[in-house]
Structure 1
Amino acid sequence: MAQYDKSDIERRMAGAVESLKGDLSGLRTGRANVALLDPVVAEVYGAMMPLSQVATVSAPEPRMLAVQVWDKSNVSAVEKGITKANLGLNPMTDGQTIRLPMPDLTEDRRKDLAKLAGEYGEKAKIAARNVRRDGMESLKADEKAKEISEDERKRLEDEVQKLTDKHVADIDAAIEKKVQEILTQ
């Protein structure tokens, strides 16, 4: 029974790219992006809950986020959660709505965010390379078990390397795009 599974390798590498895109969406550019508040949690009903379970987040203007809290008694807890998340935002409460104006990013902050995007990308590349290593090891095991020939192993190793190269290129493209957003907006 062969261990090598191309679709599993491809799925895992694509997962690394998707995970990176999720991480990058949380990095702040000069524009309001609802994904910025994804990591925010608020202590409501005696438990820590993600913002998405207690409020609706929208971007009514390019440089403003609005958080519509569903239960009026949770407004201060949500406001405290946003402040604790240390995103550099100043919540302004207006009834059950919390407005979050996007301050201009300083040049230093932009450089820090661009560097962080690069670090996220490096982690994603490491994940893709680990999947490649797993694939190569399973091919060697298949050859050792006499399930595939040496020529077949080499051909499949080339296939795994091409998948890795493709996903690393996708990672580089995602980082490049995010860095451009951070530095120009």
Structure 2
Amino acid sequence: MAHSVRRDAPELPDFSLLKRLARDQLIYLLEQLPGRKDLFIEADLMSPLDRIANVTTLKQHDVDKLYKVEYKPIVSTSDQLCFLIRPRIKTVKWICDVVNADKAFGRFRRYKIIFSPQKFYACENLLEEQGIFGDVTTDEWSFYLLPLDDDIISLELPEFFRDNFLEGDQRWVRTAGSALHLLHSVYGPFSKVYGIGRCSK
């Protein structure tokens, strides 16, 4: 455990609530596609997902098979496909290829894309450009914070440092702000606030 052992230290908040909120929202989103379905998961979401909802939990909510996104033709025979992905153009383009391949073969399926933690206009625009915007439903899994220990929580955004600090792309600032808002909503106002850097204002 990483937390303080001082007797006068304040009691730590129960961060397991964040896991429960994330799990409940994910289950709700999966149930929006009723019936048996196959779930495709982007690689860097697999480990966080395992901490939130294990395979047993997913199967209890009609997830039949799980696949890792591998950017190649799929082998699923399910009539319903759900994609749990980051809002990345490469991944969305692959999904477009999957849907268009099915259409070319006359295969009818239902498709749902769950973006985590948010969807971007560029992703939806690509769906429209590729002619499948009306063939898929999209949603957001607002998975902002992952508790790693009693006193450690992680944003789980592998691109944040590169995009924000190296490339000056501030698209993830909204996500960071939403994470802080979630903490405020669940645990109450922050007793102390410090800001560092040009984005701290």
Name the one with the larger helix percent. Answer: 1
- TM-score w.r.t. length of structure 2: 0.22
- TM-score w.r.t. length of structure 1: 0.23
Higher RCO (Cα < 8 Å, 6 or more apart): 1
